[in-house]
Chains A and B, each alone.
Chain A
Amino acid sequence: MSRVSNVVDGPTDLDRVWGKRPEYYGVFMSDYNDSLDRADAVLVELCRIRIAQLVESAFDNSLRYQPALVAGLDENKIAELSKYLESELFTERERAVLEYAEQFVIQSSSISDDDVARVQAHLTPEEFVYLTKALGVMDQFARTNSAFRIEPPEAVPPTLPAFVLQPAAS
């Protein structure tokens, strides 16, 4: 369910709400998936879930990015995400990127040259550019899903082919 009641047909709530603007939905999701694919999968996933926490998107928080799982990211680490600065499970690179992601979400215009230099110390110029673009679309997507109050899906929406459902808590 979502807060939008007059929806279109679709396999999940995401499709039923965003599908009210089908052309926009299609182009946006294409850009979203391409943008994530260009960046480091584990960094993308850590940032994506942290963003979902910050903007309160239950939908985004309920999915997992398969390439990151393949690369070794597990639920133990994801569970520590809200305390990434103290947790030993996170590398300095991941901490720097997560701090940058939080700044981007909260007020991107306040990111200083010094802030950028801190994260760039851990990334190549290409990695920095593609990570920033990925943050942009992940921030937009999670904000929108939060605003529409789209709940965790029972199946992965077809527009998110690289994702799986979050494993049930054991």
Chain B
Amino acid sequence: MATTPRIPQEMLEGYFIQMERSESNDNPVAAISIPIELSRLAAIPVRTKKSFQLDPVLHELIRLYNAKVQDCQYCQNARQAVAVQAGLDEDMVSALSHFESSALPDHVKAALRITSAVSTNPGLLSDEIWAQAAQYFTEDELVDIVLLSMHTTASKVTITLGLDPGKEASSRLFFPTEDVYGESPELAEAIAELRASGVVVEGPSEEALPVGSTVVASPSRV
């Protein structure tokens, strides 16, 4: 794994894993980042009507599984606030490294088998694995599981270029209201729905997630 940037300093000015593509943003490194619109459509960090439609805990477990496989330090240390409030805890995250023998629910294991195949050798995604997962998920959800499994391999470019922002940059919770995720009508609607259901959708970006701890969801935090 790269510990220092492998591209000239002048090329990494302003780089971030996800960046906005627009006519007003002429930063050349935006061209090699993940388009932020893709991350929004992949439901990171909140589900909208246009994005992938997966349970937030399963979504986050798939993302974190691939973060580990790809060895993305930044990705591994971030947590989606919505997923934490929906029940994601650190025991579940720890179980990802040995998910087959873990106490994770069967439907999560079935999804992770798909993710594992997509991110390592998709030729291993057998009819049996697909059929097992189909016992728990609709076909639309299976498509989303494949696409999310693919989407979360995008960190390979950042890691290979030596531009992983590192643990320190992401040992925190991602909230749907953070500026990076934009202000589209779909997001605003999704955020309003979450807020109405008692979910905390905003917080200080620097809010730390203590290592090994579980953040307990609490409507009283609203």
Contacts and interface: CB of A to CB of B under 8 A. Distances in A.
B139 A116 contact: no
A113 B42 contact: no
Contact of A21 (B37, B117, B147): B147
A147 interface: yes
Contact of B122 (A23, A56, A116): A56
Nearest to A31: B35
Interface residues of B, number: 46
Interface stretch (A69-77, A86-94, A103-111): A103-111
Contacts, number: 116
Interface in B85-129: 114, 117-119, 121-123, 125, 127
B123 A109 contact: no
Contact of B160 (A6, A132, A147): A132
A146 B6 CA distance: 31
Interface stretch (B55-63, B148-156, B199-207): B148-156
Given A23-B50, A55-B121, A133-B157, A28 B31 contact: no
B146 A27 contact: no
B146 A144 contact: yes
B1 interface: yes
Interface in A6-32: 6, 17, 20-21, 23-24, 27-28, 30-31
Given A31-B38, A125-B11, A132 B161 contact: yes
A170 interface: no
A130 interface: yes
B11 A129 contact: yes
B159 A108 contact: yes
Interface string A131-145: 011011001100110
Contacts of B74: none
Nearest to A17: B143
B52 interface: yes
A136 B157 contact: yes
A113 B7 CA distance: 12
